[in-house]
Structure 1
């Protein structure tokens, strides 16, 4: 972006950009490949959790939205080539607009439930359930890498889940012995078994009360 914004002629800009292209392609391609592999791994876990939470009524799928790749390549050489081709294809337009038009920083991912994009068509409950499936998947990935589960924070999620989904989530947390902090304004969401195995705090007028 700094080179593109400079007040120099197009020929000099192009020459400077060509110097940086190899490093940009190398680092950018590595980042794209890492994301593709991560999405593939978290997809597998999220699918499993989402099936359990929804009693097999919903399928979740994450897709990586790359502005460089046509297909989800896992070959670094092919990613390098497509990246290089795209840079050359957009070179003149980038110089004219003085901004980068492609690269991994412009990529994104989408979440689909039963084939529908959840950001456009998902209910609040479906969106919250999808987030939970992804967060539970993150827990497993961190456990796989570090050997222990991280501390889990859930901010007022119970009010947006039905009883079955609340029961599954809390049961899973207990079974896996994950240290979890849950905020809620309604203790009725938690059964006696959960309450017995938990420490409950109430915040009242800025003070923390141990119940």
Structure 2
């Protein structure tokens, strides 16, 4: 989720992400080679600074992105759930102790951690630290949604995050992107459907919405939409 969403908004992130995985591949190849430890360490010295530079940028960008997403997702989720639920994303970094927004500090911690785990990496023949091993979690009212969230809560959380992403793109580009919603309506109750569709109309977002039930859409929505039906492989304009 993180890499895909950030790359859509910040093209430089995708560039660094691609370079990071290329460097990671070279580093892992060195760790897998049947050569003595001294030669491995010498070869790793070539790639480690590059891995640290790209990786630190990825970590910092993720921290900033999640901070922005949390600000927007909180507002959307409160509205969708009528203030019954709160949402929060947390980023789990295997490099940082604290979520600091300082590239020099991240660089230093990354460098120190790599050095600290060098022997273990040589033993296990793979890179054990870096943003490729990081993860994120979504919490609803302080409960991890992956473990405790219902399907409806998970759908609503995804919706809040997607709406937040829309706003971030609007802030950066000045216009909303095209919004795709695939059979989301069946997972939302009437209040949440009403909020979502009202928001799409109010903000004049161009959206493509798939559903098997037209009754989910009120007359106001239908009047402002073009409706197509797919039947036996044919698209019919209603």
- Specify the TM-score bucket, using the shorter chain as the normaliser: over 0.9
Cα deviation, 1:21-50, whole Å, max 9, x if unaligned, reads 222111111111111001101110010100
The alignment partner of 1:99 has SS state of: coil
1:6 CA displacement: 1.3
**Offset of residue 9 of structure 1:** 1.0
Q: Which moved more, 1:78-87 or 1:16-25?
A: 16-25
State the partner residue of 1:140. 167
The reply to whether residue 43 of structure 1 matches residue 97 of structure 2 is no
CA positional deviation for 1:57: 0.5
**2:33 maps to 1:6:** yes
Mapped to 1, the partners of 2:184 and 2:47 lie a distance apart of: 46
CA distance in 2, matches of 1:48, 1:16: 49
In the aligned structure 2, how far is the partner of 1:52 from the partner of 1:160?
17
Cα displacement (A) at 1:111: 0.4
Offset of residue 69 of structure 1: 0.5
Deviations 1:71-121 (A, max 9, x none): 101111111111111101110010011011110111111100000000110
Shift of 1:19: 2.1
Deviations 1:148-202 (A, max 9, x none): 1110000000001000000000000000000001100001111111111111100
Of stretches 165-174 and 7-16 in structure 1, the one that deviates more from structure 2 is: 7-16
SS of the residue 2:132 aligns to: helix
Report which stretch shifted further, 60-69 or 14-23.
Answer: 14-23
Runs of 4+ in 1 over 4 A off after TM superposition: none
CA RMSD for the aligned pairs? 0.7
SS in 1 for 2:35: coil
For 1:30-109, list aligned pairs within 5 A.
Answer: 30-109=57-136
TM-aligned CA deviation for residue 11 of structure 1: 1.0
- 2-structure distance, mates of 1:25, 1:207: 52
Map Cα deviations across residues 120-162 of structure 1 (whole Å, 9 max, x no partner). Answer: 1000000000000000011011111111111000000000100
Query: 2:230 aligns to what SS in structure 1?
Result: strand
Between the aligned partners of 2:192 and 2:210, the Cα distance in structure 1 is: 17
